[in-house]
Structure 1
């Protein structure tokens, strides 16, 4: 897969200025950022070479020993992902995750820098706060994605504070260049492995699916579970 955002870590979260690129068409297709990524490839390679080794935590819910694993690939700036989390995910969680029938894994996709910033704020709270912040990001997506880059960053800080994080914690997370670079590399590796080209996408026991209704989702899961 083409490297999508190799310059993100090189320009790491300069949230006070307007020089950052902001993709105004944060839709469901991963591929349009490829041309932008190629322009910044040399800068991204330099940052990658100097980046520290950072471990990325896999964010999971449900039963880690379940026979069925569902991996969601989603972007915090994707309206289709917001719709899925508003209309499908609550039933999926109630019927399959909370009942320990499946293991659910959430993996972020980065269309743009705001999506990366949102991911870093969500991960700033650690595993205990992650999914709560994910809910807040989707519930308020139409509000925090509006404005100039500095405004968006401030909006995300506000969400972080509502989740119980303080300014010092948020500053540390949002200026962690090594973490930003490793998150992008981690996403690229996973997306290539699973053939992810759009969001939301789902990998159910190794097979990749595109966005679907709850009825279709539950049908696939029931078949996998033998129900």
Structure 2
């Protein structure tokens, strides 16, 4: 067995050096673990956002053969969604939907009523109503009803999208079978679809509304039409 040679002073210096080296290694390992935790936290917070939706039976407007898919994740109680619907979507509709280049899917994500701790989840009622409008009126009726919903939007902190109110608003859309719509909403016939939407939103890492995807890629600032237009044009060029 080979032993360390030298006097007591040298042995002490060696021991101190060894302890310092061990401390530095431990610090590096801790830092590495910290970075991994931060990466997991970023992923959980929605830093990595990727469209993960089954678009079967999702409300959609536009030509079924349109080459580019756009997905809008929205809550009908969301003021920013109302602004997107009023100021940005009409441009998309005019430039790309009506020309057969883009089809737009709506994914209702009802969360604001829950955040506000309201006694009734009118975010979910509104989401179900949108699905019922699509089911009993088609894409154009759904689009018209969605526009009316946003125009009638009340405060986030108040229950305004009651089932009675939602049926009143639907009466303004000629393309909707009113009796079928009322039955659909009263019997929560589309509740399962809305629940499925919520799971897909979670799986996609979405944490705000409106969130917009073009050809599967998230648009960082959907309120900026120039940015949205650039993404659509790039998708069309592929």
| TM-score computed with the length of structure 1 as normaliser | 0.65
* 8 Å Cα contact 1:122-1:160 kept in structure 2: no
* Structure 1: gaps of 5 or more residues: 1-30, 32-55
* Partner SS, residue 105 of structure 1: strand
The whole-number CA distance in structure 1 between the counterparts of 2:170 and 2:126 is 9
The change in CA–CA distance for 1:167 and 1:69 in structure 2 (over 3 A counts) is closer
Deviation at 1:146, TM superposition (A): 8.1
Mean Cα displacement is larger for which, 76-85 or 188-197?
188-197
| TM-score computed with the length of structure 2 as normaliser | 0.62
The whole-number CA distance in structure 2 between the counterparts of 1:192 and 1:183 is 14
* Partner SS, residue 154 of structure 2: helix
* Structure 2: gaps of 5 or more residues: 1-44, 46-55, 114-120
The change in CA–CA distance for 1:167 and 1:103 in structure 2 (over 3 A counts) is closer
* 8 Å Cα contact 1:74-1:200 kept in structure 2: yes
2:208 is aligned to: 198
Using CA pairs below 8 Å that are at least 6 residues apart, which structure has the higher relative contact order?
Answer: 1
* 8 Å Cα contact 1:194-1:203 kept in structure 2: no
2:228 is aligned to: 217
Deviation at 1:98, TM superposition (A): 0.7
The 5 Å alignment of 1:4-153 reads 57-111=57-111, 112=113, 113-125=121-133, 126=136, 127-128=138-139, 129-142=141-154, 148=159, 152-153=162-163
Deviation at 1:138, TM superposition (A): 1.1
**Root mean square deviation of aligned Cα:** 2.7
